[in-house]
Amino acid sequence: MVLVFLCTCSARAQEPVPLEGQDESAAAELRKKAIDLLESVVGQVDILRSGENRARIRSNAADLLWKHDEKRARGLFAAVEEDIKAGLNDSDPDPATRSHTLAVFMLLRSDTIGRIARHDPALALSFLRATRPASIEQFPHQLRQGEEFMELRLAGQIATRDPRLALKLGRESLSKGFSTDILSVLAQLQGKDNDGWLAFYKEIVDKLKAANLAQDSAAAETATGLAQSFPPSGANEQVYRELLGILLTSALDNGCGNPPQQNAPHYLCIQVGLFFSRMEFYYGSRVAPLKRYAEVGQHFFSPPISAQVTGVIENGSVDEILALAPKHPELRQQVYWKAMMKAEASGDVARARQIAADVPDEEQRRYMLAQIERNQVWKTVSAEKLAAIQQELSRLRTNEDRVDFLLDRAHRIGVNDRKAALSLLNQASQILDSSRFGTTQLGGQVMLAMLYCSLKSDRGFSIMETMIPKLNALVTAAAALDGFENNYLRDGEWNMSRDGAVGDILNGLSENAGYFASMDFDRSVSLASQFERPELRLMAGLKLAQSVLAPRTNPSLFRIR
């Protein structure tokens, strides 16, 4: 359980912000140290034999260095381009190995394009086209399918910085066929280039007029997504009416208005049923034969969520998130939950309770209010609560459960009672020390070290100093067994693909380097230098620099349960 949590904590947590609480001169000095470390890492990349490792490190480093040294960053991206080209031309005779290699380099390529797009959209497009495999038809189906819409996805990423280029790419993609990714481009253009947005909206609707929605699922999903995500405003109401007319005509022409026992493309009928009331507003009694699908559509089908809406849900303010509820009733549960959690995380518990109390669904309302109370239980720590922790601990049967429980409670109360949290961590440490050496013990010690660092306790580094030699020994043993149960190496070097238990632990450390850097950057760098394999040293150095130069914004630690 501990190891599984470690492997997934990066998806549920954020690294602490290393610059928080520092004065300007100290923060500047820390950034300088991070840049110097990054320069050192980049200067050593050529010693690596693995194109995957070189590309991964250079791609991340170029992204971090762009503002500091754009010329250097462009040179690094150019080197990544060459490594990715070579990786995509892999000629391994074993089909499974070749397929895996292609998947790894296609993902590296996609990640790099996203990084470049943040800085220079035109360069991102050039990189995409320069690294496009010449023999894509020989790739596995899922990789070929993703390639078809790469430029369209890039258009969605760059629309804010370069709306004209995004519009050009969107139009080129539309000329080849439909994809719901077109809606992401449209969403990003809205408010950035309203004339281009409206023109593109009309072009999509015009193309839908010639589509057979019953046979072309991509066209049907594009049409319903467009109708759901872009309701009419003054400038586009006529176009919106035409769009609903396309849906209505297609549904009736394909038998959705026939008696239930007669065959009809059921999926299309359910999709169209989502918009029954809107179509009825414009087309009156003509829509009546589709009425039975109105309720069914709400229960069984939901159109794709636009990137714009997703962005608001994930990154918007509490008020911006709540504003989505009346516009997107199908997302109300998600909207209220996100708004409540954001209000509570900001410290406005009263607002969180009010949001939960306003939820229309009684069951969801009760659950949300109960969740707030559960979260608030550990905001204050009393002797009675600490005694209750020990009572509950005594009922647990395994060391794994006890450690899991103690780390969770220490994290919950650490913000308000450092002394009590450290006491619980000390208990967990004693249990781990008495446990059999293995993945559970090692994974638990990594989490323990992170929590100690979050509480500014030197014990976090003490634990890691004893773990590094063990990790080096495990890496050596795993490398000797490479290919028997797991594939740890590629081109003779450790890869970061998370294969096996050792790979999980190393990736967990890498992704959470900020916990250590935020407490003592110099000591963290010293620890990273103790990895015996150069690729691990360089990756650790990269992640430490990244935790300073691109810190994640939420300072909270992970949650175990």
Q: Which of 4, 76, 70 is nearest to 43 (CA)?
A: 76
What pLDDT, on a 0 to 100 scale, did the predictor assign at position 561? 31
What pLDDT, on a 0 to 100 scale, did the predictor assign at position 267? 77
What pLDDT, on a 0 to 100 scale, did the predictor assign at position 537? 96
- Does 33 or 381 have the greater pLDDT score? 33
- Predicted confidence band of residue 145 (pLDDT cuts 50, 70, 90): low
- Predicted confidence band of residue 14 (pLDDT cuts 50, 70, 90): very low
Sign of the CA dihedral running 153, 154, 155, 157:
positive
Q: Where are the domains of the chain?
A: 307-378, 436-549
* 476 and 36 Cβ atoms separated by less than 8 Å: no
Q: What is the mean pLDDT of residues 231-239?
A: 76
Q: Name the amino acid, one letter, at 291.
A: K
- Predicted confidence band of residue 168 (pLDDT cuts 50, 70, 90): very high
pLDDT, tens digit, 9 for 90 and up, residues 196-223: 889 999 999 999 999 999 889 899 989 9
- Does 297 or 457 have the greater pLDDT score? 457
- Does 259 or 532 have the greater pLDDT score? 532
Q: What is the mean pLDDT of residues 482-497?
A: 85
What pLDDT, on a 0 to 100 scale, did the predictor assign at position 12? 37
Sign of the CA dihedral running 133, 137, 143, 147:
positive
Residue 425 CB partners (closer than 8 Å, separation 6+): 406, 407, 410, 448, 451, 452, 455, 457, 459
What pLDDT, on a 0 to 100 scale, did the predictor assign at position 554? 44
pLDDT, tens digit, 9 for 90 and up, residues 320-352: 899 888 877 768 888 999 999 999 888 898 999
Alpha carbons 214 and 211: distance in angstroms, whole number: 9
What pLDDT, on a 0 to 100 scale, did the predictor assign at position 10? 39
- Predicted confidence band of residue 298 (pLDDT cuts 50, 70, 90): low
- 315 pLDDT exceeds 80? no
Give CA angle at 236 (230, 242), nearest 5°: 85
Around Cβ 73, how many Cβ atoms within 10 Å?
A: 23
Alpha carbons 245 and 249: distance in angstroms, whole number: 6
Q: What are the structure tokens assigned to 343, written together?
A: 């209000």
Q: Which of 21-30, 156-165, 468-477, 501-510 has the lowest mean pLDDT?
A: 21-30
Mean of all residue pLDDT scores within the chain: 85
Largest distance between two CA atoms of the chain: 77
* 454 and 469 Cβ atoms separated by less than 8 Å: no
> Structure pTM?
0.77
Q: Which of 416, 423, 414, 480 is nearest to 451 (CA)?
A: 414
Q: What is the mean pLDDT of residues 385-395?
A: 92
Alpha carbons 139 and 135: distance in angstroms, whole number: 7
Identify the three-state secondary structure at position 157: helix
Strand (E) or helix (H) holding 191? none
Q: What are the structure tokens assigned to 259, written together?
A: 């008696």
Q: Which of 186, 282, 260 is nearest to 225 (CA)?
A: 186
* 309 and 187 Cβ atoms separated by less than 8 Å: yes
Q: What is the mean pLDDT of residues 438-455?
A: 89
Q: Which of 94-108, 227-241, 357-371, 392-406 has the lowest mean pLDDT?
A: 227-241
- 302 pLDDT exceeds 80? no
What pLDDT, on a 0 to 100 scale, did the predictor assign at position 141? 66
- 460 pLDDT exceeds 50? yes
At residue 489, φ and ψ (nearest 5 deg) are -110, 150
Give CA angle at 19 (16, 22), nearest 5°: 130
Sign of the CA dihedral running 514, 518, 524, 525:
positive
What pLDDT, on a 0 to 100 scale, did the predictor assign at position 300? 52
Q: Name the amino acid, one letter, at 215.
A: Q
Q: How many helices (H) and strands (E) does the chain have?
A: 31, 2
* In 147-304, beta strands by DSSP E: none
Identify the three-state secondary structure at position 40: helix
Q: What are the structure tokens assigned to 145, written together?
A: 């399918």
Q: What is the mean pLDDT of residues 250-267?
A: 78
What is the DSSP code (8-state) at residue 331?
Answer: G
What pLDDT, on a 0 to 100 scale, did the predictor assign at position 235? 60
How does 132-141 read in b/e, with b if 16+ C-beta sit within 10 Å?
ebeeeeebee
- Predicted confidence band of residue 261 (pLDDT cuts 50, 70, 90): low
pLDDT, tens digit, 9 for 90 and up, residues 171-196: 999 998 898 888 888 888 887 888 88
Alpha carbons 461 and 294: distance in angstroms, whole number: 60
CA distances, 456 to each of 415, 418, 516, 519 (Å)? 11, 9, 10, 6
Q: What are the start-end ranges of the H helices in 20-140?
A: 24-44, 51-65, 70-88, 95-117, 121-130
What pLDDT, on a 0 to 100 scale, did the predictor assign at position 263? 62
- 557 pLDDT exceeds 60? no
- Predicted confidence band of residue 51 (pLDDT cuts 50, 70, 90): very high
3-state SS, 50-62, equals CHHHHHHHHHHHH
- 23 pLDDT exceeds 90? no
Q: Which of 28-32, 266-270, 400-404, 458-462 has the lowest mean pLDDT?
A: 266-270
